[in-house]
Amino acid sequence: MKQYVVDAFTDEVFKGNPAAVCLPEAWPSDELMTHIALENRFSETAFIVREPQGYHLRWFTPGGEIDLCGHATLASAYVVMHFVEPDADEVVFHTLSGDLTVTRRQDAIGGEVFVMDFPAYDLEPVSVTDAMERALGVRPVEAWLGRDLLCVLDDEQTVRNLHPDMAALRKLDGLLVNVTAKADSDTGFDCVSRSFAPKLNVVEDPVCGSGHCHVLPYWSRRLGKTHLTAYQASRRGGVIHASVGMGRVNLGGSAALFSIGEILPGA
C-alpha cells in the first residue's frame, strides 16, 4: 500500500500539519486502518479508495475514525492531483461529512493553493464554567458548542501561552477543544487559535481544518467579515485563508510533500 506524508497548510516541510495519505486498492479492515494510524502517530491518517462513483475518503486518528478533517483532506487532494490525476484541478471526495470538493488554484505569486469547500458547524452558546477554567488555566470570556467546544479568550498571547490540563480537557463537552482570540492588529491575521484533542489521543493538532469550521464562522460574525486569514499558533504553526457564507467554509492552504513510502503487505 502506497503511503505519502504531506505537510498541510504550509509550503515548507516541517511546518503546518503532517498527514499520512494511504492509497489501498480496496478497503482494508477498520482494525488495520486504526493500527496504521497508531503506527504513524500523526493526528490523522487518510485512506482513499477509488470506487465506481468516485474517490471515497476516510480519516483515522490514533483514537479511531473521525467525521471531518481539513488538513488530511488538503493532503489527500495534493496526492491525487500530483500522483493519481496530475492534470486535474478539482477532486470530489465522498466522506462521512458528505461530498467535499477541493480545487487547485494559483495564488498571487504563482504558488499552488488548495481550496476546500467544507460545512460550517452550527454553534450554540454555552455557559463558561469553572471546569473550563481549570482545564485551560484561564477563564474563557465566551464558550460555544458544535461538534467541538470553542472557547474564546481575551487576547492572542493568552492563546499562545496556554498550557492546558489534558485530563481535565477530556471531561469537557465536545470532541475537540478549540481556543481562539482576535489576532493582534499588526500580525495581518484576523484570529489566532489552537486545537486540543485528548479524546482522540492527540494532545495538540498542529493546524486543524475542522476546528476552523467552528472558529471561522464565529469570527466572521464577530468581525463582520466573510474573508478571513487565520493563524494556528501551535509549535509548527500554519496559515488558513478562508471565506465564510451560506453555511459553508472555504479553507485554502498550501502543501509540501515530505515522503513517499510503502506499507508492507504483512502490516
Supply the residues annotated as catalytic.
44
What does the block give as the cell for 7? 505537510
Q: Which helix (H) or strand (E) holds 216?
A: helix 209-223
Which triple of cell numbers denotes residue 248? 459553508
Cα first-last separation, the chain: 10
Residue 263 and residue 33 in contact, taking contact as beta carbons nearer than 8 Å? no
**95, 58 Cβ separation under 8 angstroms:** yes
Residue 57, SS3 per DSSP: strand
Q: Which of 217, 206, 68, 210 is nearest to 152 (CA)?
A: 217
> Who's near 156: CB < 8 A, 6+ residues apart?
181, 182, 183, 184, 187, 192, 233
Residue from 202, 263, 253, 265 nearest 76 by CA: 253
Question: Residues 6 or more apart from 30 whose CB is under 8 A from it?
Answer: 65
Type of residue at 7: D
CB atoms inside a 10 Å sphere around CB 6: 28
